[in-house]
Structure 1
């Protein structure tokens, strides 16, 4: 390559597909409008009938601003129709995300969205539904074989769209048990991990969520077989889901599901309590 020729920079995901970028941009606009209106996050939360944590997450691009929220926020912020004008684009983006999951994942994505109870055990990475955009991008960008830029952005938008579950009311009962080693892995770098740990704390404080850490030092461990998810669809029996390198399996056999349920119960019994887990994450943040 000639020394006078600049090396072309690969397109960033947001330059290929603007879905995730749209949500981040709206979050930034809301923050500017809120500051200009002289409102705190708590005050905006009261005006839009939601939690302060949701406002913070939307402004940081961690949570998707739902159409109903935008319709309430526009007059509250004196936006003059700026946020209302984005409602149709947000609806279309959410609709695209709902149908773009890979074929092997669609059965689980549908079951997850409709579930009344969800329980996640993670040993490799933070569960997708908890991931920040930066953490999720690191997961997709550094996997092998490599994804192209369009696929990275599509998968990223799909993953973040799943977090709309946290905005549902009544929402599903949710629990997470994550291996401590996962939360110490510097995936994406220190700044990315810091943001991810703060996001976990934010979600773990929701009334519908129970969060635990499996510490690194137990002398026995019932879950070395890998990550799995237990979910209960409305009006149906509990099922289990596993996934290894794109090979997904939705398990419906009652006896096999029972074994996963039993394993999860023992894992939760051996994990740190909710309070201990949050204290452990705060300590991790202090060490970064």
Structure 2
């Protein structure tokens, strides 16, 4: 049975690396759980590596080469699979996002990335990096818009977002930018491309007051959970944690306005911003 072969750089490195990992594991006669035990990770983590929903870090590549007898194959190729235009703490989440069949997220303070317009994203990045050169900001905006292109594909993932009312009321970039941003969100809803609910101020205390969350489900891999903070991020695959946060999201949707009422509020606030700008 042939061993792992060098990867074609013109193909998707992450997908091919995952396929080669599955090949090498099966050749060694190991289950995902058994291989995971040798790396001190879960079997679901191995499954995510094989499915290409998680990137292979160098420390795991070394351990895989040792456990599977593949010399330095995975160490040599994990670098190509890890190249990204996104910050290290976020890159793996973006890659998983592109493979997901369903995405559920709560955004407490800003319109979530997949729903942003260029002007809104530009205002966000400028606030994050007030002294960055303009070309750096534009590169970040372009990367974010490339992510948002995921929604241009009608067969793309189901996106269900709960936006806190604070994200709608905070004047990010000014009234004109906010009016455009909210009309964009409303347009996606009216085209039946996304489900958006607004968690109103009147809901009071709720289940996710400590921060944002993103749940991602996949066709052939276990679900992932992404937490994000200022300059940091973490992917989590622990089934208990994922199950708990899935229930948290359900509680948020129960407290939020209905999709129809949420759309009406978004369009009303967009109209208010537009009138203020006109006057």
TM-score, with structure 1 as normaliser: 0.63
Which residue is 2:88 aligned to? Answer: 103
Question: Take 2:113 and 2:104, find their aligned partners in 1: how far apart are those partners?
Answer: 13
Judged with a 3 Å threshold, the aligned counterparts in structure 2 of structure 1 residues 244 and 147 are, in CA distance, closer, same or farther, namely: farther
CA distance in 2, matches of 1:285, 1:154: 27
Does the CA contact (< 8 Å) of 1:171 and 1:208 recur in 2? Answer: no
Which segments of 5 or more consecutive residues in structure 2 lack a partner in the other structure?
1-82, 274-279
Structure-2 residue corresponding to 1:166? 151
Indicate the SS of the match to 1:222: coil
Query: By how many angstroms is 1:198 displaced?
Result: 0.4
Confirm whether residue 246 of structure 1 aligns to residue 226 of structure 2. no
Q: CA offset at residue 183 of structure 1?
A: 0.3
SS in 1 for 2:142: helix
Whether 1:219 and 2:204 are equivalent positions in the alignment is: yes
Query: Per the alignment, in what secondary structure is the counterpart of residue 169 of structure 1?
Result: coil
List gaps (5 residues or longer) in structure 1.
1-97
Counting only pairs closer than 5 Å after superposition, residues 90-129 of structure 1 correspond to structure 2 as 99-129=84-114
Q: After superposition, where does 1:9-158 map in structure 2 within 5 Å?
A: 99-143=84-128, 146-158=131-143
2:154 and 2:265 mapped to 1: Cα distance? 29
Instruction: Name the CA shift for 1:200/1:184 in 2 (closer, same or farther; >3 Å).
Output: same
C-alpha distance in structure 2 between counterparts of 1:160 and 1:208, whole Å: 16
CA RMSD of aligned residues (A): 1.5
3-state DSSP class of the match of 2:241?
helix
Q: Residue 181 in 1 paired to residue 166 in 2? A: yes
Structure 2 counterpart of 1:255: 240
